[in-house]
Chains A and B, each alone.
Chain A
């Protein structure tokens, strides 16, 4: 009997441990299959990113693997995100940084609320802050920079300032574009005005109309407006409120909507 109880407890323990390990394997924010990071570094990052998850209800995870299996690392990242069950809540809110050894590429996959917070401008910023470290094979600093930048973006979004709509990367483009237009528009206006005014210098012009010689008025005998067809074009709205985001989205193989992209070779 004692033996049976011990066997039962052993089974229960094994199952519990196995379930616990499985949960850990799926929920740990940092997964490094290649060994780029030391265990201490992984622990530190896990601790930090779990704190982020608890604070903002958003998964900020990292996945490093040997081979992406193809050149399209974004779809590989989407699949890993979906099948490993990353993301918080019904909409699976979160972002994942994906690093592949073969090919040497990295990218970001976003889901749920993560699509809005980590919009195209934010992804570009994350690419910018991590790329330099990755090219120097400094994986820990790359992941740490990603974690810190993602945290600050989440903090800003929680304060109603989604990255790319307030101070930040979008301004880096908006200002030069606005000043460029401020230079180009006057050039066009000046050229058109000068041309129009210059026409007064030459009044010897053909007159292709004989409207001055119409006797009486038009006697309209037929006036028929035939409706033929309609066409409707639909374009996604560019929302300019603080809570919106200009995010490019796509479907993963499992049919989940993802955002992200960015990254590239390193």
Chain B
């Protein structure tokens, strides 16, 4: 038996009635008429995107790491924040890259998990410091004294553990869009708004979406230094750790999946939205769905410089991308500088507005 479908008005939600003469579905409530085919397509697509997204990642099996003489490793533990870090045994005195504590304890290396890939450092310590100074110079409301009164703790190069996610997904999305036109006659101004449903679907591939696998670093800092150029990733070799510290993951791949899913879904919807950009006055997402199977997860170490700066008894933490030199962190704000900027903008804008008002009231 054929399924009987009740179509609802996309405008007001009331039940639609088929008009045999016009062959349209009419709404008695708001007076709109719709083509049957249009509503069938709309229903099919709405049903498709209303389903739950399907994120199917392959299970990641960790591999233990056995030193093979590539480098003499040691374990460093921080009694202050609890960080357990592997590193070059010949690193000498160091500080905890996460909290800046200098009483870091060196122990014999006790083994760790073997990463699949590593992106070697490309920016050295001097380059990282220059990048930081550039970022400092561009911070608009930085107190003048920050440059002189800050105490720069040791800058440490750290390989931070990341889960890297690859997937080829099918994405679909429905958007509500409007086009607006306006005209006038002698007595009235008219504004016509045309309402559309946009249906988009396509295939999108993602490679190496990084998700921070260390609980000791705030994800805002680690996502703030992105992107990493994963084309420079190489198979892991402990030799790259020479002169650096390397954290081990303490957030499992399973626990990182949710963040990867979120970023995949957001990006897919944004890309599909982009296919209609510029064609409509407004485009508002209604629903979206992502589906894939066999997504791959890999364990990698990515290079960052960690810098802790003490200023006015407060510790400021900065993370600098070891590849690109991009800086992520929060600078102290000078309220006086901020107030001066506000006053300057207000003053200039007020002068322009006042001149316009004066001209309008005197010459119009």
Check if A218 sits within 8 Å of B272, measured CB to CB.
Answer: yes
Within 8 A of B (CB), among A199-222: 200-216, 218-222
User: Given A185-B349, A200-B139, A214-B271, does the pair A219, B203 have CB atoms closer than 8 Å?
Assistant: yes
Complex CA distance for A249 and B198, rounded to whole angstroms: 43
In the assembled complex, B184 has its CB within 8 A of some CB on chain A: yes
In the assembled complex, B172 has its CB within 8 A of some CB on chain A: yes
Majority secondary structure, A binding face: mixed
In the assembled complex, A70 has its CB within 8 A of some CB on chain B: no
Residues of A within 8 Å of B227, CB to CB, are: 212-213
In the assembled complex, B330 has its CB within 8 A of some CB on chain A: yes
- Measured CB to CB, the nearest residue on chain A to B226 is A207
Query: Count of A-B contacts with CB under 8 A?
Result: 214
Check if B349 sits within 8 Å of A189, measured CB to CB.
Answer: yes
Check if B263 sits within 8 Å of A178, measured CB to CB.
Answer: no
Give the shortest distance, in Å, between B290 (CB) and chain A (any CB): 11
How many residues of chain A get a CB closer than 8 Å to chain B's CBs? 55
Give the shortest distance, in Å, between B36 (CB) and chain A (any CB): 12
Check if A237 sits within 8 Å of B204, measured CB to CB.
Answer: no
Check if A189 sits within 8 Å of B345, measured CB to CB.
Answer: yes
In the assembled complex, A175 has its CB within 8 A of some CB on chain B: yes
In the assembled complex, A235 has its CB within 8 A of some CB on chain B: yes
Complex CA distance for A209 and B226, rounded to whole angstroms: 11
Residues of B within 8 Å of A187, CB to CB, are: 346
In the assembled complex, A255 has its CB within 8 A of some CB on chain B: no
- Measured CB to CB, the nearest residue on chain B to A177 is B357
Interface centre among A185, A210, A236 (most CB of B within 10 A): A210
In the assembled complex, A234 has its CB within 8 A of some CB on chain B: yes
Residues of A within 8 Å of B266, CB to CB, are: 208-210
Check if A222 sits within 8 Å of B202, measured CB to CB.
Answer: yes
Complex CA distance for A213 and B270, rounded to whole angstroms: 14
Check if A201 sits within 8 Å of B140, measured CB to CB.
Answer: yes
Check if A226 sits within 8 Å of B333, measured CB to CB.
Answer: no
Residues of B within 8 Å of A189, CB to CB, are: 345-346, 349
Give the shortest distance, in Å, between B295 (CB) and chain A (any CB): 12
Complex CA distance for A126 and B201, rounded to whole angstroms: 65
User: Given A201-B331, A211-B270, A232-B191, does the pair A223, B205 have CB atoms closer than 8 Å?
Assistant: no
Task: Knowing that A204-B220, A223-B275 touch, tell me 8 more A-B residue pairs with CB under 8 angstroms.
Answer: A179-B354, A194-B338, A197-B341, A204-B328, A214-B271, A222-B202, A237-B187, A237-B189
B-side residues, CB < 8 A to A, are: 10-11, 30, 32, 34, 38, 41-42, 45, 135, 138-142, 172, 177, 184, 186-210, 218-221, 223-224, 226-227, 230, 260, 262-264, 266-267, 270-272, 275-276, 319, 327-331, 333, 338, 341-343, 345-347, 349-350, 353-354, 356-357, 360-361
